[in-house]
Amino acid sequence: MPLALAYRELGGAGRPMLILHGLLGSVRNWQSAGVELAAQGYRVLAADLRNHGQSPWSEDCSYEAMAADIIALLERLQCGPVHLVGHSMGGKTAMRVAMDAPHLLTRLTVVDIAPKAYPDRVRIEFAAMAALDLKSITTRKSADGSLATLVTDWGMRQFILTNLVKNQAEEWVWGVNREALTQSLPLILGNPLREGETWDGPTTFIRGGKSSYLKPEDEVLIKNHFPHATVVTLPESGHNPHFDARSGFVAAVCQ
């Protein structure tokens, strides 16, 4: 059963565009980029995927389930076929949507992820979240210090901490379904597509030149599923081109 996802209008009144965030992300990560995309003639919306942000939780973290949520959202919004933009895990979800409901898309943009399985590269981050004693946390700064023993990268810690929120009792809690996401990491890191599936619509894959998520040799995999895809590399960007190279990112999305 699809979940009723939370979403936000980021601006604009033109052609509809829906943005899907990555693992441990949310609509909040896309506010600035969304405003710039809206200025290019789009009505920009962004959704919180299940188990993230303001959306409901579920033990099912499969791409089939996440895609069904997006399809239900698009049908509920009745905004017409959209330009679907997905980053990382959101990019894999967007690929699944393209296969399951091609009539709902005018264009697909996938950001720094390929249609393939990935090694377990986020286990340390999830282990650090599990090890954090939330009852001992007094401030985000104290949480940052505790996370630093396992997560040495400052930027990654700040990203993780965007999910640390206070509940109605003013207690620190994780705003994501950490347990379900942890158990589902093999699924999330897996390939969302099946052999032989294709989508013939206009497709762009945006690659961060400093990122290892989308490699030049992955273009063969991409073309197998998306025969009309083009790959755009942003040389100065890492895994988050909407932050690292925003002007180039906006130009690539709107090409």
In a domain, 241, yes or no: yes
> Is there a single domain that holds both residue 16 and residue 105?
yes
Res. 5 pLDDT band, cuts 50 70 90: very high
In a domain, 102, yes or no: yes
- Tokens at 208, concatenated: 């961060």
What tens digit of pLDDT does each residue of 78-102 get?
A: 998 999 999 999 999 999 999 999 9
In a domain, 1, yes or no: no
Say yes or no to pLDDT of 241 above 80.
yes
> Is there a single domain that holds both residue 175 and residue 232?
no
Distance between terminal CA atoms of the chain? Answer: 36
> Is there a single domain that holds both residue 68 and residue 154?
no
> Which residues have a catalytic role annotated?
88, 179, 239
Say yes or no to pLDDT of 234 above 80.
yes
> Is there a single domain that holds both residue 63 and residue 96?
yes
> Is there a single domain that holds both residue 102 and residue 194?
yes
Tell me, what's the pLDDT at 178?
96
The CATH code of the domain that includes 227 is: 3.40.50.1820
CA 20 to CA 8: how far, in whole Å?
Answer: 11
In a domain, 110, yes or no: yes
What tens digit of pLDDT does each residue of 136-180 get?
A: 999 999 999 999 999 999 999 999 999 999 999 999 999 999 999
Tell me, what's the pLDDT at 122?
77
How much is the mean pLDDT over the chain? 96
In a domain, 227, yes or no: yes
| Single residue among 183, 207, 228 that ends a domain in this structure | 183
| Single residue among 159, 183, 207 that ends a domain in this structure | 183
Q: Is 103 exposed, middle or buried (0-12, 13-18, 19+ CB in 10 A)?
A: exposed
> Is there a single domain that holds both residue 104 and residue 195?
yes
CA 237 to CA 98: how far, in whole Å?
Answer: 26
> Is there a single domain that holds both residue 79 and residue 134?
no
What tens digit of pLDDT does each residue of 122-147 get?
A: 788 999 999 999 999 999 999 999 99
In a domain, 41, yes or no: yes
> Is there a single domain that holds both residue 83 and residue 153?
no
Provide the domain count of the chain: 2
Which residues span the domain enclosing 169? 123-183
Three-class DSSP category at 10? strand
> Is there a single domain that holds both residue 11 and residue 90?
yes
Whats the size of the chain, residue-wise? Answer: 255
Buried b (16+ CB within 10 A) or exposed e, 212-228: ebbeeebbebbeebbee
* Residue type for position 178: R
- What is the average pLDDT across 212-241? 97
- Tokens at 211, concatenated: 């990122």
Tell me, what's the pLDDT at 120?
80
In a domain, 74, yes or no: yes
**H or E segment to which residue 136 belongs:** none
What tens digit of pLDDT does each residue of 51-72 get?
A: 999 999 999 999 999 999 999 9
> Is there a single domain that holds both residue 24 and residue 81?
yes
In a domain, 2, yes or no: no
| Single residue among 163, 183, 203 that ends a domain in this structure | 183
Tell me, what's the pLDDT at 123?
83
Say yes or no to pLDDT of 121 above 80.
no
Tell me, what's the pLDDT at 237?
97
> Is there a single domain that holds both residue 18 and residue 94?
yes
Q: Which CA distances in Å does 205 have to 61, 165, 236?
A: 23, 33, 16
> Is there a single domain that holds both residue 85 and residue 15?
yes
Say yes or no to pLDDT of 186 above 80.
yes
